[in-house]
Amino acid sequence: MQNIDNAHVSKVISLDADATGSLVISGGIDNRSHLWDAGVGQKIKSFSDSEGYPAVIFSSDGKRFITSSFSGKTIVWDTDTKKPLLMLKGNTADIQTLAFNPSNNNVAGGATDGKIIVWDQSGKVLANYIGHNSEVKKIFYNPQGTRLITASAAEVKIWDGNSFNMIKTINPDSKSVRAINVSYNQDLAVIVTGKRTIEIWNTQSYLKESDLPGTGHDIISVEFSSDDKYVAAGGEDGSLSIINLLTKEITKEIPDAHEAGLAELKFTEDGSKLITGGYDGRIRIWNLSGLDIQASLAWQRSQNLYAQSQPQNQEDKQYRGDMLKGLGVSYSASDLQFGNYYALIIGIDNYSEQWSPLKNAVSDAKAINQILRSRYKFDNIKELYNEQATRLNIIKELEWLVENVQPTDNLLIYYSGHGEFNQALNKGYWVPVDAKAASTSYYISNSDIQTFLGGIKSKHTLLISDACFSGDIFRGSTVSIPFEESDKYYARVNSVSSRKALTSGGIEPVLDGGREGHSVFAYYLLKALDSNSRQYFDASQLFDNIKIPVINNSDQSPQFNAIKNAGDEGGQFIFLKK
């Protein structure tokens, strides 16, 4: 194996990369930080200070990066211009760990005096408080940006990402935290609690989930792969170990990955590379499709990444498949796998007694049924129209879904009919066709629907409700993965569960009449589904397509959000075009 020299004169102590690993930022105790073109291994820009750089990080979109030095300076840089945007202030001690919030790009820093500081994008200090009795070694946000995870040498603390109130302290039995990292997609942390002891902890339940096998090396760094299937562990002796989280087996060990401590590990988010930095001053970029180690970052010839970037070959472009083969790691199947698609369509016009008849609810529901069958993958569609849509029949269909929908399946429920809101009970309801009086005993409450949605075992559930007061289904704040047009995004939102609702309004009446025999909401919903040309079309895109037209052509405001306490983990229901 070729020696790779002088990425830094001395130890590499911080390292990060953009999503594809095209750009790498490193920090050393040699008082230097370097921005690298990883494709050709050339320094793009160097930064110097009177002391070393313990923390460097890219923003989630790669447009900015931050360097923090032991001189106390924390600077935000523009990735394109390589010029400083602002200096983050408010710390009296050195910031030695940084994290970007994936939901809003706020920045959290952990200091050597135990303080935790959070800044917004303008540099305004949002929080500044003592988090630990000793220096903060590491700081992370969970994948949704709702929780902040911090670690000292002895404990891990979980904080609310908005209020910054402490939620829980995790104290390993060893009273030691030698290294820690969090997963890309789940509420999991990998913690090195002893020289050769690695544990997986759940940061939602605060319980230890499993022990990983000892590597035979004293571990000083850990990192989840971007699909959360593997953990990489760096040894104090420079070794690299890959552990399969499913089988709890070490699939690959490389004793001499570095000649001294392997202190920094970074899997790129696209799953194509592992980047390592060591106390030997070297940076290595491992091509996971074949365990090829690219040539020295210090020795490569110059080439500007942006002005002279070369087309990627097909192997480099492919984000799925056997990306980790060279490290003894393999995928079982493609990331984008879809189970069966179920739908329950309910439309009611023929109300009587207390409730006035509607004109368009059934035609809306039947049009939705037709477009789902003709344009999108749906394997089982159940329909209840008018007299079929009694309280008993609706509940029976929901019970059938509880019994038959499997954990890999997808479910869409569409309801068009009367809705009611009881102010005294502060609760919204669906009104079945057999509701004979204005009494909640005849209705189906949103809380009952929420309970069913939590009990149905689907991977993704989307409720679309075109009824008065349908927005009552949302109670409490939730967070989802930000949209981007890429296969990586669809793979990610398909991999984590979702329970979301798209409603025609909030806690307000909505119109039955509208355009071309449909309600305003249903008209633009049908238009968006019919005009879509993408193979993958998720619920957030659907909402973006209909929100403004509905608002501009009615007095109602459509809502889209996760259904609280129903099992949503930030994913999205994906309409799969035929």
What residue ranges define each of the domains in the chain, with the CATH number in brackets?
184-267 (2.40.10), 341-576 (3.40.50.1460)
| Average pLDDT taken over every residue of the chain | 83
pLDDT at position 273, please?
86
For residue 426, CA distances in Å to 422, 441, 447, 504, 505 come to 6, 15, 11, 19, 17
Which of 418, 411, 412 has its CA nearest to residue 386? 418
For residue 571, CA distances in Å to 75, 219, 256 come to 33, 33, 39
Tell me the three state secondary structure of residue 247.
coil
**Distance spanning both ends of the chain, measured CA to CA:** 49
Q: How confident is the model at residue 480 (pLDDT cuts 50, 70, 90)?
A: very low
Q: How far apart are CA 117 and CA 74, in angstroms?
A: 12
Q: Are the C-beta atoms of residues 191 and 156 closer than 8 Å to each other?
A: yes
In degrees and rounded to multiples of 5, residue 546 shows phi and psi of -110, -20
Tell me the three state secondary structure of residue 23.
strand
For residue 98, CA distances in Å to 8, 139, 177, 219, 564 come to 21, 6, 18, 21, 30
The mean pLDDT of 519-538, rounded to a whole number, is 92
| Tokens at 425, concatenated | 């009970």
Q: Are the C-beta atoms of residues 577 and 376 closer than 8 Å to each other?
A: yes
Q: ∠ at Cα 139 (136, 141), nearest 5°? A: 155
Lowest mean pLDDT among 144-148, 301-305, 329-333, 493-497: 301-305
pTM of the model: 0.54
**Between 511 and 477, whose confidence is greater?**
511
Could you report the per-residue pLDDT of 538-550, keeping only the tens digit for each?
999 999 899 888 8
Which of 479, 558, 486, 490 has its CA nearest to residue 519? 558
Could you report the per-residue pLDDT of 215-244, keeping only the tens digit for each?
889 999 999 988 888 899 999 999 999 998
Q: Are the C-beta atoms of residues 16 and 57 closer than 8 Å to each other?
A: yes
pLDDT at 486 over 80: no
Residue 533, burial from CB neighbour count under 10 angstroms (0-12, 13-18, 19+): exposed
The neighbour count for residue 440, using CB atoms within 10 Å, is 14
H helix runs in 376-444, sequence order: 391-404
Q: How confident is the model at residue 350 (pLDDT cuts 50, 70, 90)?
A: very high
For residue 574, list its beta bridge partners.
Answer: 538
Type of residue numbered 156: V
Q: Are the C-beta atoms of residues 414 and 346 closer than 8 Å to each other?
A: yes
CA Rg value for the chain: 27
Q: How far apart are CA 237 and CA 256, in angstroms?
A: 8
Identify the sign of the CA torsion 73, 78, 79, 82: negative
Residue 308, burial from CB neighbour count under 10 angstroms (0-12, 13-18, 19+): exposed
